[in-house]
Structure 1
Amino acid sequence: MRVLIAGAGIGGLCLAQGLRAAGVRVSVFERGCALENRALDNRGLEARGQGYRIHIDDHGGEALRRCLPEHLYRLYLATSARPGAGRISTLGTDLSVLSTFEAGTGSPHSAVNRLTLRQILLGGLGADVHFGHQVTAVEPDADGVRVRFAGGREDRGDVLVGADGVNSVVRAAVAPDSAPIDTGLRCVYGRTPLAALPDLPARFFDGFTAVAGDTATLALAAFRARTPPADAAAALAPGLALTPVPDYLMWAVVGAAPREREPVALHRFAQGVVRRWHPELVRIVREADVPATFRTPIRTSPPVPRWPAGRVAVLGDAIHVMPPSGGAGANTALRDAALLTERLTTVDPREAIAAYADEMREYATAVVHRSYLAAGLARGRE
């Protein structure tokens, strides 16, 4: 069996690793260019329109354990964040505590830097990943699937998995009535080096913090790797190059952001949001790495649909995009990848995809709903 995967994001690469470890031939097709292409703007590659720090929950951590070879799983653990107190806090704009929830650390790996995880997931895949391949058409039949790419190229496999994100061409081919829903809100992401924030209060290292303003919310989470990526790679995966990641505080302003995409304008907007808030919050945004600022729409999904039984599957944001609440989207994509790996390596492809779709539909629809509520969108529409 040969599996084609559209999209080299976290979900698609986790699936590729799991299938490859089980002896299944895989080919991953990514419309973007290789991370190693230094001619590109690496800031954009780091962000990928999705943020910097990802919380990894039990489902995500277990999926990585099941799909990654041992040395890459250990590398993921080594480069994850130093665990904090596991506290989820909501503060007022004067830093008064409105609520606190002691979530606990739960597992030894609480968060990762998105670019580092993606580079780890690429480890060992080599020629199985084809960059610069944008899927334009999907043609399934009784025996397999033909995929066409921009520029006239095409390929054929026994199974196609759409891991091609929120604007998925694969989803549009099999479930055209399940397009994502734009909530109308926007998230402006930023990153401030911890070196620029001496004497930052300890509360910002305890977990996840939300600051509730009248017209916008500011989310904050620190990232400090257990082991510098280069050192960890040298010890656990020699030859795998990981981009250095200075410690940082990720922040995100959620609200009615401007239409501008230029980082300076978005940073100016964020500064305007917090200008009358506590001086510590003003400092956090002011000292940001301005070119790393970007904006992304907040979308959600209708209930995960049924699609025709066959040889095409869809995972992650391609089928169940959700608000960025606690890394739910990334963790659900990893969970999808582990489940689909298990199914495809135990039964006939058609039966495997049908079983995967039924199980994924149930848990993913529930996670989308919880993320919607956690983001306060239900109240916002009342």
Structure 2
Amino acid sequence: MNASSLHVLVVGGGIGGLALAQGLRKSGVSVAVYERDLHRDDRLQGYRIHINPQGSRALHELLPPESFAAFTATAGHGGNEFRFYDEKMRELLHLDEAITTGGARSPEDGHHGVSRITLRQVLLAGLDGHVRYGKRFERYERTPDGRVTAFFEDGTSATGDVLVGADGGNSRVRRQYLPHAQRVQTGVVTIVGKYALTPEARRALPAEFLRGPASVMPPRDHGMFIAPHEFAPAAAGAIGSDDPALAPGALFDNTTPYVFWAFAAKREAYRAGRALEDLDGAGLHDLARAMTASWSPRLRALVEGTDTSTVTLIPITTSVPVDAWAATNVTLLGDAIHSMTPFRGIGANTALRDARHLHDALVAVARGERPVVPAIGGYEERMRDYGFAAVRASLKTAMMTVSGNPVGRFFGKTAFRAFNAMPAVKRKVFAGFGDA
């Protein structure tokens, strides 16, 4: 292989795959993305994503300056405070922005709440001609000269020097490359919804809900995460405002401020009377209302005031960490290798971190500084370390959220109240809480 002619095939046009493609294009490395969606506007759905400093630094490195500026301009705002409550909405712990983030930061080192839909539009900007739509990956084969050919269900194929599986938790690339790497059900199931922040709706909510995320800790079995998502006046229409496909009705979380909520419990804790997957939005909404019936009226108002069309079910899965494997010119990033629960809010940031490190490895190959397999091996060694650590931390948080141990939950709440009463200790113990 002539290093200067390196060509990279990326299977999957999600956050990590597109960020990698943006970085390679910016660095002058040939790249093509193969996406199963038929059009760039097929994914008009999603929820708020928290981009932490790791993700921000990756985007700053990988995106051209104008795209990074678009990312920061279209990010939502809702504060970086974090609160913990019990189900009666008694405050257990309040972490102000000075604790969670260390105060004001530059955009490339900061925290951003962003619509998943908007972020994808930013990541697609400038990639016309580099993204092939309607390409559902089927398999890959090695060529006699050591390159790799990807085959797609429509009968087409593509050959490159490196194949990157960025095709999500159900990755077909992983299934062929690392068939022993599993993704399993955790037993945790969430009902999620969006509470639209109309003027009337705002008055029904506690003001604290608009100042940053919060976690609700009932005595046992379940929990709820809450996060506001608002926009600067010019942000909502900054991307796609002239595209009929991106009209406000289609892009609810791209144009309308809202509070996102996620109610979590183990599957057996729900009293649904039938399979959760058989319930529509209205049925799930009724179930969430029933499960929170004894909660504070201020918390119930959030669930009860939610449009049922925004309510959906998300069974929580996780990857199972695997031992090191021998590096080749096929590799993986993001959920394709270290799919994790959403309970730490770090999945997208870990995928962006992957994209940044893999980009650096592939640029070194293109410049003739390293052979391709050792370069990818170095990336994979690093990625396995922080990626599977994130998987374990995320799963631990998920299990704590739905723990059926009332004694453990009681002592956890007691510790939070104690920290809350000692500001100096609280600042020391929780410094940088939002950076994780």
Q: Normalising by structure 2, what TM-score? A: 0.79
Aligned to 1:5: 10
Aligned to 2:421: none
Which residues of 2 match residues 95-244 of structure 1 at below 5 A?
95-102=89-96, 103-106=99-102, 107=105, 108-141=110-143, 143-195=146-198, 197-199=201-203, 200-213=205-218, 214-233=220-239, 244=254
Q: CA deviation at 1:191?
A: 0.8
Aligned to 1:299: 317
Q: CA deviation at 1:302?
A: 2.1
Q: Normalising by structure 1, what TM-score? A: 0.89
Residue 66 of structure 2 corresponds to residue 61 of structure 1: no
User: How far apart are the structure 2 equivalents of 1:144 and 1:227?
Assistant: 49
Q: CA deviation at 1:230?
A: 4.9
User: How far apart are the structure 2 equivalents of 1:381 and 1:279?
Assistant: 24
Residue type matched to 1:254 in 2? A
Residue type matched to 1:46 in 2? Q
Contact persistence 1:3–1:157 (CA under 8 A): yes
What is the root-mean-square deviation of aligned Cα atoms in Å? 2.5
Residue 378 of structure 2 corresponds to residue 360 of structure 1: no
Q: CA deviation at 1:228?
A: 3.7
Contact persistence 1:134–1:150 (CA under 8 A): yes
Aligned to 2:294: 276
Change (3 A) 1:115 1:306: same
Q: CA deviation at 1:122?
A: 0.6
Q: CA deviation at 1:36?
A: 2.9
Alignment coverage as a number of residue pairs: 369
Q: Which of 333-342 and 100-109 deviates more?
A: 100-109
Q: CA deviation at 1:234?
A: 8.8
1:245 counterpart (252, 255, 261): 255
Structure 2: segments with no counterpart, 5+ residues: 1-5, 271-275, 366-370, 406-436
Aligned to 1:324: 342
Identity score, percent: 36
Q: CA deviation at 1:70?
A: 0.2
User: How far apart are the structure 2 equivalents of 1:36 and 1:372?
Assistant: 32
Q: Which has the larger radius of gyration?
A: 2
Contact persistence 1:116–1:229 (CA under 8 A): no
> Matched residue of 1:126: which SS?
coil
Spell out, residue by residue over 1:185-215, the C-alpha distance to the aligned partner (whole angstroms, 9 max, x if none): 1122211111152222221122221112333
Aligned to 2:36: 31
Change (3 A) 1:202 1:66: same
User: How far apart are the structure 2 equivalents of 1:129 and 1:261?
Assistant: 36
Residue type matched to 1:268 in 2? D
Structure 1: segments with no counterpart, 5+ residues: none
User: How far apart are the structure 2 equivalents of 1:201 and 1:35?
Assistant: 38
Change (3 A) 1:53 1:372: same
Q: CA deviation at 1:78?
A: 1.0
Contact persistence 2:78–2:228 (CA under 8 A): no
Q: CA deviation at 1:130?
A: 1.6
